[in-house]
Copies of this chain bind each other. A is one copy, B any other.
Amino acid sequence: VSTTSPVPVPAPAAAPPTTAVAVELTAVIVAVHDNRPWVLMVDRDGRPALPSGPFDPVGDRTLDRAMRRWGTDLTGLSLGFVEQLYTFGDIGRDPVAAASGARVLSIAYLAFVAAGAAEPSAASGARWMDVYELLPWEDRRDGEAAGFGELMVSAIRAWSGADAAGDNGDERPSRLDRAEQCWSLGGAPWDPVRSLERYELLFEAGLVAEAAASGAAMPATSAATGVAAALDHRRILASALGRVRGKLTYRPVVFELLPDTFTLLQLQHVVEALAGVTLHKQNFRRLVEGAGLVEGTGRRAEGLTGRPAELFRFRRGVLRERPAPGMNLPGRR
């Protein structure tokens, strides 16, 4: 079955590629205040859009560095955690560019800004926007169907039934299966991480405004389906949100969003804001302390009300002890 070394025949693929396309960086810059996740958005033809910048093939030695430099310029803030997300390249994703024959590739990056940092420089035209204004169904902190409702569920049911009848063989999971898995319509628990799948399902079902080619029927804003963004930027945001939520569970990234010291309730609120679900308070405390993720400073917070809480800090030592330290979200597995 195997040859240990490949034969020394030049493969056809080895010829240097010559395809030219436009490449840009797109940033999903996230912060958390006031129990809400915020994302930095600019305006693009009247719609909110993720900030994008050109990729400079001469000046930028690595993509990561390009992202860091440009993101810092844009926000005037120092970016904590920075990670490449995904490269988006569908032909229809930028209709304007497509019309002129250009193909736009966006390398999306995810970055965190610590709470308490300054505002973005006004010159950039960038503003913080509530993530759940764009993806309202992803926030389940106040009840299952908060802002989503049975309406949407039945719409999805009706739509997913449409091909269950057609029975596409049993290769790919049916739309019904996908809908059930995404929205926990069957017995399965809600999985915060699947935000991208949920957005894609809504898109396919024609329930988000972006799905209507060239601004047809749907309103750009609805309480249930949120505010439409430019191009495929809501898709990118949904993918970022899923990544953040997944990452939370096995890497201590939350601390990049918090000040150096914080109370356990603050920490819990940040996790809840990102995960879009509420957590059991006592268990959360036990978990993070028991896992050695945090350590108490002797000091206490300037209490607003109630018993003053101890201030904690991230305990770097965990990294040496556990390979995958993070916050457990309920119902994973």
Contact = CB atoms under 8 A, between A and B. Distances in A.
A97 B52 contact: no
B43 A9 contact: yes
Interface string A174-196: 00010011000011111101100
Interface string A1-42: 111111111111110111111111000000001100010011
Nearest to A94: B16
A34 B2 CA distance: 10
A62 to B, nearest CB: 5
Contacts of A33: 1-2
Contacts of A105: 23, 105
Interface stretch (A125-133, A204-212, A263-271): A125-133
A255 to B, nearest CB: 13
A323 B319 contact: no
Nearest to A58: B103
Contacts of A38: 1-2
A16 to B, nearest CB: 6
Given A6-B125, A11-B43, A43-B8, A55 B320 contact: no
A74 to B, nearest CB: 7
B89 A1 contact: no
Given A14-B49, A42-B13, A63-B87, A181 B320 contact: yes
Contacts of A90: 61-63
Given A17-B104, A188-B321, A1 B194 contact: no
Interface residues of A, number: 97
A18 B250 CA distance: 38
Contact of A333 (B11, B61, B325): B325
A318 to B, nearest CB: 10
A278 interface: no
A97 to B, nearest CB: 6
Given A14-B49, A17-B54, A191 B323 contact: yes
A8 B230 CA distance: 13
Contacts of A218: none
Q: Which of A19, A63, A133 counts the most B-chain CB atoms under 10 A from its CB?
A: A19
A49 B103 CA distance: 28
A306 interface: no
Given A22-B18, A62-B89, A4 B129 contact: yes
Nearest to A74: B13
Contacts of A130: 2, 4
Interface of A: 1-14, 16-24, 33-34, 38, 41-46, 48-49, 51-58, 60-63, 74, 84, 86-92, 96-97, 102-105, 107, 119, 124-130, 133, 170, 173, 177, 180-181, 186-191, 193-194, 227, 250, 316, 319-325, 331-333
